[in-house]
Chain A
Amino acid sequence: MLIGSNQQPLIKWTTRGLYCEKGDFYIDPCRRVDRALITHAHSDHARVGMKSYLTADAGVGILKERIGIDSSISGIPFGKHQRIGGVIVSFHPAGHLLGSAQIRVEHRGEVWVVTGDYKITHDISCEAFEPVRCHNLITEATFALPVYSWPDSQLVFEQINQWWLNNQAEGRCSVLFAYALGKAQRLLCGIDHSIGPIGVHGAVEKMLPYYRKAGRAIPEGLLKANAENKEKLKGVGLIIAPGSVQNTPWLRKFAPYSLAFASGWMAIRGARRRRALDRGFVISDHVDWKGILNTVDNSGAECVGVTHGYADALVRWLGEERGLRAYEVSPKYAKDRPGEEAEK
């Protein structure tokens, strides 16, 4: 009943993205299509221009914010089964950011799961990852090398708090670069906001109402990091902003400052040093190597498709060391690893 060489796979790679013919829909398509199922609102997964979108209820607000209020977006509760064409579809928490989902597709007892981006480590800013049993798992592989092994996030938050305190002692502003959707909110929920004033960049602020509405512990009294609040933040504040503001006049307003980046890529010294940062904090919204292997084990899948990142190594490892049927979902070189600025 699983994909044999003579049988069509339930979900396959096309130039428009992952396609399910039996249900006639695409998952996170990269070109315009009629029906798009979206795992989460990051720009490499949710693109404008689809005729209709379906995403998890918990992610509808953020998706609208990202791709436009006028788009035709419907939501579906986590876990609810819905028939689309000849298949049954359901969304399950991916633990990547608020409302992020894995998509489960079932056809005559054959179950496929597309993880989208996910993590299995603790994160109070979003729903916890839910393991889903399946026959064929399509997993992301952003950090699929055994050199990536995430430290306990609580320890990382303590490091960030300490760095902030040290900067205060030196009269420096603490500027923490983080991806504006997901990571930034996770940091806001995790750091000790009693240390001092916190400023947020506009791109980060935009997403806060959705997190607050969902009851996530975003601290009150956050400041807009702008010229008006400059004096309140200088020397004592913590500013959370996307990495793209490095070397901009906007950032220079808050000098003197210490620059840090919160990302899984910071596990490697080279990545930290070539961005000319003072600190790198290892905290990721993707799974690490062990996390992927655990997820594969827990899913019970005999067949594993790999996409989004270090596919080669994971495919080979799953095949040789675990004896699974593993394959790379996207064609070679078409989807190479994203580079450290885009941990989406």
Chain B
Amino acid sequence: MKGFSELYLSLDASNRKNEKLAALRNYFSVVPPEDGAWAVFFLTGNRLKRPIRMTDFRKWAGLACGQPAWLVDECYNHVGDLAETLALLLSERKRSIQIQDRPLHQVVQEDIIPLRDLGLEEQRERLESIWEHLDGSSCFIFNKLITGGFRVGVSQSLVAAALAELANVEPAIMAHRMMGIWKPTPCAYKALFTGAHSEDQSAKPYPFCLSYPLDEIARSRLDTISNWQVEWKWDGIRAQLIKRGNEVILWSRGEEMLTDQFPEIVEEAASWSGSIVLDGELLAWDHDSPAPFSELQRRLGRKNVSVKMRNDVPVLFMSYDLLEFDGVDFRNKSTQERRSILQSWSSGISSRYFGISPLIDACSWEVVLRLREESRRRRVEGIMLKRKEAPYHSGRKKGDWWKWKVAPYTIDAIMIYAQLGHGRRAGLYTDYTFAVWNEDSLVPIAKAYSGLSDLDIRKVDRWIRQNTTDSHGPVRVLEPKQVFEIAFEGINESKRHKSGIAVRFPRIIRWRKDKLPKDADSLKMVRSLLAVDS
């Protein structure tokens, strides 16, 4: 456990990719497969099912460190991370037992997982004795694993890069070996190095090719339009559909398996002959155009999709790339070539739940620019540009795929509430609620926490502390004085919100110190944006 804790702390402490890579390499070069398997599991964002209730966990940790519950809460509010708070508090109590280091897999398999099947009192006793045996950083990691909040600033591709170096293969190959459901077994771990593929090989998705955002200036530097394949940027869920043999699997970009949530697509794909891997977008579909993203959200996170839900929210897999065909990897072929194979293949299949992302035929950048202005009306996010000669890259590679989104909506709103942030922003007031005018009262319109510089965050924090008029639990009520420019991507009617409006992806653009509260926008103005969006 100590090795893993140290790895976590050095990944957490460093901002340098090379240092992180070195830390990973050092760890994996000596770790036994039993532990390495779990390390890969956690580092690539997998979580254990929570073995105990959080309220119990918090209560017992409080008892174990001998502090009253309110003080534990106070500390948690300040630190912003429960696992860290409890580790800090627990490391302070006296202990009677020598600390012993146990391997990661033992802690997971013998301590954490079995907790689930114990009664409440046994759970508490077990936890106390485990805590007793862990030193500060191991205690922190253990708590993180228990609370399921184990997140570390390392991307899957970085883990793959480190393992690839040790296995002496290309990072893309390692990324490919690692994708899919990771079974934290020594066998699976060893297979990463030997390439001996396990039985679920056929389910493995390819790493997605990701695009970079493009603005007007960067756009003007692109070469002639004839080198580019132009498509709409769909506003759905990026997904990879894999049909190898008779099995169909649908993966999200976050490598979440979506197969159960879109049964009609899976069923239809199963009826095709041959094998194919497609890259595309899952969309809620309304006759011949996309439905708002909020519709698609209704389909997510369900174990079973009812017939009613299927009828209420029809969906479509909008394919835009072909990665594999009849067992042959096509990713090194050019975008143009892949596209033509995709088109000829698609002409021969049933396509009730399938579409092919149409190409935009534009003879000049001016035409594209004009079409891009139609994005909102078409319920797309903007334009995608793909270099015709480019292969299908693994991950983010600058230069060949660009997303050129339409500008977001912006409004000026007044900050009215603030809450302490968590994680990186723990201890600072960084979660804000903004309001607009409704006649002469203020109505909340959006919550946002990102977009300010660290310096501004600290300034706003100080302002908040000095301008609190009231507080409700963790929420501070503020003098309605500060105006911020808020951007958001979409806007919908909503019965759940007091304002009758829900905005998507709100974020702070800038602090408008030059504006007075009376200059902020009105609900009426915000409502007028609804018309544009629908």
B: contact size bracket: 35 or more
Kindly provide the distance from the CB of A173 to the nearest chain B CB, expressed in whole angstroms: 15
Shortest Cβ distance from B140 into A: residue = A269
23 A–B contacts, CB within 8 A, in A order: A145-B75, A149-B91, A267-B88, A268-B78, A269-B84, A270-B79, A270-B426, A271-B426, A271-B427, A273-B423, A274-B424, A274-B425, A274-B457, A276-B15, A278-B14, A278-B16, A280-B13, A310-B78, A316-B71, A317-B71, A333-B468, A336-B466, A339-B462
Contact B81 A269 (CB under 8 A): yes
Contact B465 A147 (CB under 8 A): no
Kindly provide the distance from the CB of B12 to the nearest chain A CB, expressed in whole angstroms: 6
The verdict on A149 contacting B88 (CB below 8 Å), with A269-B81, A276-B454 known, is yes
Chain A positions 257 through 275: 1 when the CB is less than 8 Å from some CB of chain B, otherwise 0:
0000000000111111111
What is A's interface to B at a CB cutoff of 8 Å? Answer: 145-147, 149, 267-280, 290, 310, 312-313, 316-317, 320-321, 333, 336-337, 339-341
A320 partner, pick from B12, B68, B92, beta carbons under 8 A? B68
Residues of A with C-beta under 8 A to B305: none
Residues of A with C-beta under 8 A to B427: 268, 270-271, 340
A147 to B475, CA, bound (A): 22
Contact B424 A270 (CB under 8 A): yes
A47 to B158, CA, bound (A): 51
Contact B78 A145 (CB under 8 A): yes
- Tell yes or no: B210 within 8 A of A by CB: no
Kindly provide the distance from the CB of B111 to the nearest chain A CB, expressed in whole angstroms: 23
Given contacts A146-B67, A268-B78, 18 further A-B contacts (CB under 8 A): A145-B71, A146-B88, A146-B92, A147-B78, A149-B91, A268-B84, A269-B81, A270-B422, A272-B13, A274-B454, A276-B15, A276-B454, A278-B15, A279-B13, A290-B92, A312-B74, A317-B71, A321-B68
Residues of A with C-beta under 8 A to B79: 147, 268, 270
Q: Is the interface of B mostly helix, strand, loop or mixed?
A: helix
A128 to B359, CA, bound (A): 76
Residues of B with C-beta under 8 A to A268: 78-80, 84, 426-427
- Tell yes or no: B352 within 8 A of A by CB: no
What is B's interface to A at a CB cutoff of 8 Å? Answer: 12-16, 65, 67-68, 70-71, 74-75, 78-81, 84-85, 88-89, 91-92, 422-428, 454, 457-458, 461-462, 465-466, 468
Residues of B with C-beta under 8 A to A270: 79-81, 422-427
Shortest Cβ distance from B14 into A: residue = A278
Contact A333 B68 (CB under 8 A): no
A147 to B426, CA, bound (A): 14
Residues of B with C-beta under 8 A to A278: 13-16
Contact A316 B465 (CB under 8 A): no
Shortest Cβ distance from A338 into B: residue = B462
Residues of B with C-beta under 8 A to A277: 15
Residues of B with C-beta under 8 A to A267: 88
Contact A146 B424 (CB under 8 A): no
Residues of A with C-beta under 8 A to B423: 270, 273
Kindly provide the distance from the CB of A285 to the nearest chain B CB, expressed in whole angstroms: 19
A278 to B19, CA, bound (A): 10
A290 to B78, CA, bound (A): 17
Residues of A with C-beta under 8 A to B16: 278
Which 4 pairs between the two chains have the least Cβ-Cβ distance? A270-B426, A336-B465, A147-B88, A313-B74
A269 to B83, CA, bound (A): 12
Shortest Cβ distance from A260 into B: residue = B13
Kindly provide the distance from the CB of B87 to the nearest chain A CB, expressed in whole angstroms: 9
